[in-house]
Amino acid sequence: MNRAEHGHNRRPRRGVRRARLGLRLFGVLLTMGLAGCARAGATATPTRGAPTVSMPARATQPTPRPFAEPSPTPTAAVTPTATAVSTPTRTPTARPTPREHLVDLVPTASIGGHLYCRTGPGIYYPAVRVLQPGEQVELAGANKIFYDWWYVRLEDGTTCWAHRKWVYDVTDDLAPYLPQVTPPPPPPAAFKPIRHQWPLMVPFCPAFFSPALQFQVKNLGPEPIRSFEIILTVLDTGAVYPTRVAEGIPTCGKVRTQIPPGETVAVAAFTRQDLTDKQVRLDLRGCTQPRFQGACVAYSLTWTIEPPPRPAFPWP
């Protein structure tokens, strides 16, 4: 019975020992686990319900600071300087001016026919002398307004005006480089026929009861023209038709007593026949007083009477 009791008492003692041994073992394990957790606490935090994994601690790198760029130091702006390249310059050859060139080449001119050399640039100026064909004259001047005339110097030193049409061996380019000569004022009865206006054959002129040649005359002088004469010569046949008005101006229609200074009047010449396609010479004379008194000016020209221009659109 004692054994039984003793045996009965040993069982509890073994169980107690085992329980104590288990508690100690658990405490050792717990202590070891807590120590491991303390060493890996900074590296990994165990998730609740998940197994604890200890990770080796990494070396902490310092946080990089923002890089501060150095502020640019203001420097003086450098302007690129163009390097001068020495280019060989060509020295221009000295050329004579147009005036020197032309005057040197054409100091004189030749006359192409029998030509009046006058005191001014117009046939209403008195004639100084008659130049002969082939005569040499020196060009002494010109005028921009009277561009159809040359101011020439003769062999004896006399100066006069010669019409450009009959002055040969000279070019028109020379005129601007010659001395500009101011002509004398025109004579009191200076006039000229207007060439650029069409001369017209009038089939029946009431003033003459016959055909007549009508053309324009302009008074260039300071006084009115009060008497006028026209001598018309037909060069093809030699017929001569004079028209003289001692007091007034010959016209086909309106009676004109004078041609005032600066005005243009249509004068008429008696013909007796149609002179279309005929070559005629007109010898004109106008005076400042009636009956061909006072200051008078004579004018001569040659015309070929052409038919009047036809209208662009004929009448219906």
| pLDDT tens-digit map of 143-175 | 998 888 999 999 999 999 999 988 988 877 888
Q: Which two tokens stand for residue 215?
A: 């053309």
Q: Which two tokens stand for residue 109?
A: 């001119």
Rounded distance between C-alpha atoms, residue 137 and residue 74, angstroms = 82
Residue 224 has pLDDT above 80, yes or no: yes
Rounded distance between C-alpha atoms, residue 240 and residue 175, angstroms = 40
Percent of the chain with pLDDT over 90: 45
Q: Which two tokens stand for residue 184?
A: 């004398």
Residue 305 has pLDDT above 80, yes or no: yes
Residue 92 has pLDDT above 80, yes or no: no
Rounded distance between C-alpha atoms, residue 285 and residue 296, angstroms = 7
Longest dimension (CA), the chain: 208
Burial of 119 (0-12, 13-18, 19+ CB in 10 A): middle
Rounded distance between C-alpha atoms, residue 103 and residue 101, angstroms = 6
Q: Where in the chain is the domain with CATH 2.60.40?
A: 191-304
Rounded distance between C-alpha atoms, residue 51 and residue 36, angstroms = 13
The model's pLDDT over 205-222, given as tens digits with 9 standing for 90+, comes to 999 999 999 999 999 999
Rounded distance between C-alpha atoms, residue 149 and residue 248, angstroms = 32
Residue 61 has pLDDT above 90, yes or no: no
Q: Decide if 36 contacts 28 (C-beta within 8 A).
A: no
Would you state the pLDDT for residue 171?
79
What is the third-level CATH fold of 191-304? Answer: Immunoglobulin-like (2.60.40)
**How high is the mean pLDDT of the chain?**
78
Q: Which two tokens stand for residue 186?
A: 């025109």
Residue 27 has pLDDT above 70, yes or no: yes
Q: Which two tokens stand for residue 207?
A: 């003033």
Q: Decide if 196 contacts 309 (C-beta within 8 A).
A: no
**Cα–Cα nearest to 187, from 143, 129, 111, 127:** 127
Instruction: Quickly state the pLDDT bin for 91 (edges 50, 70, 90).
Output: low
Q: Where in the chain is the domain with CATH 2.30.30.40?
A: 98-177
Q: Measure Cα distances from 185 to 145, 182, 188, 190, 221 in Å.
A: 13, 9, 9, 10, 8
Burial of 28 (0-12, 13-18, 19+ CB in 10 A): exposed
Regarding predicted confidence, which is higher, 46 or 33? Answer: 33
Residue 9 has pLDDT above 60, yes or no: no
What is the third-level CATH fold of 98-177? Answer: SH3 type barrels. (2.30.30)
Would you state the pLDDT for residue 10?
47
Instruction: Quickly state the pLDDT bin for 22 (edges 50, 70, 90).
Output: confident
- DSSP assignments along the chain, one per residue: -HHHHHHHHHHHHHHHHHHHHHHHHHHHHHHHHHHHHHHTTTT--PPTTS-----PPPPPPPPPPPP-PPPPPP----PPPPPPP-PPPPPPPP---HHHHHHHH-SEEEE-S-EEEESSSSTTSPEEEEEPTT-EEEEEEB-SSSTTEEEEE-TTS-EEEEEGGGEES--GGGGGGSPB-PPPPPPTT-EEE-SSSPPEEEEEETTTTEEEEEEEEEE-SSS-B-EEEEEEEETTT--EEEEEESSBB--SSS-BS-B-TT-EEEEEEE-SS--TT-EEEEEEEEEEEGGGEEEEEEEEEEEE-PPPPPPSS---
Q: How far apart are the first and last CA of the chain?
A: 178
